[in-house]
Amino acid sequence: MKPITFNDNTVQRVYNDYINRCTNFLKGLPNEDKEECLMEINSYIFEYLEANKEVDQMNSLLNILERLGAPEVTLKEFVASKKLNQAVKTFNPVFIVQALYLNIKNGIIYSILSILFFIIFALPILVILKLIYPKSVGCFVGDHSLYFGVIDEHANTVEVLGNGFIPVVILMGIFLYYAIILTLKFKNTKKKNK
């Protein structure tokens, strides 16, 4: 991105500060997404300044920056959307966590997906605990109740899955992981269609 140059040093400093704040907020994105966003912002600023040449440059710049808003607020949805795309394309759990974290405020669906992702990370712990405490971990049925996970050995329950607990937990983890990915893809394509 080619930065806009101004004759007045103060105007240049205000512009540079805004662009630097945008760059810092976008630092977690791939370079092409970062460049795309910065070019778009630069384009808005340039077009506004060209349309308002008769007004003082400082006032014009301050007006457009006020309209654009603080980068930390304005770019939040853009970054969240790009992180979501990155997570869906790569299947990388780190990107999925980042995308869910950035999008959690966007609605109940992301809250549910975050809880499911937390469950995915808890499932391997159950597998390890099943190997260490086989009588206390599993799927138990008692009087009008069903327990999945860790339970007191002396509870009046019967283990249903036995050694099949570990494969069931692994399959649950895989199923939940792909369910999250497919939901994110569906949500993402739905957003693009709007």
Residues 81-128 have pLDDT tens digits of 788 788 878 878 887 787 777 766 667 777 788 888 899 989 999 999
List, as one string, the DSSP characters of 20-65. HHHHHHTTTS-HHHHHHHHHHHHHHHHHHHHHTTTS-HHHHHHHHH
Are the C-beta atoms of residues 48 and 63 closer than 8 Å to each other? yes
Closest CA to 181 of 99, 77, 79: 99
- pLDDT(194) > 60: no
Residue percentage of the chain with pLDDT more than 70? 94
Domain range list for the chain: 1-74, 92-194
The pLDDT of residue 187: 74
- Within 10 A of 27 (CB to CB), how many other CB atoms are there? 8
- Within 10 A of 34 (CB to CB), how many other CB atoms are there? 19
| Per-residue confidence band for 2, with pLDDT thresholds at 50, 70 and 90 | confident
Closest CA to 3 of 53, 32, 46: 46
Average pLDDT for 147-160? 84
Are the C-beta atoms of residues 37 and 78 closer than 8 Å to each other? yes
Closest CA to 113 of 173, 174, 180: 180
What is the C-alpha separation between 72 and 96, in angstroms, rounded? 21
The pLDDT of residue 162: 86
What is the C-alpha separation between 14 and 160, in angstroms, rounded? 67
β-pair partners for 158: 141
What is the C-alpha separation between 164 and 166, in angstroms, rounded? 6
Residue percentage of the chain with pLDDT more than 90? 33
Q: What's the pLDDT tens digit per position in 18-56? A: 999 999 988 888 888 899 899 999 999 999 999 988 888
The pLDDT of residue 66: 93
The pLDDT of residue 44: 92
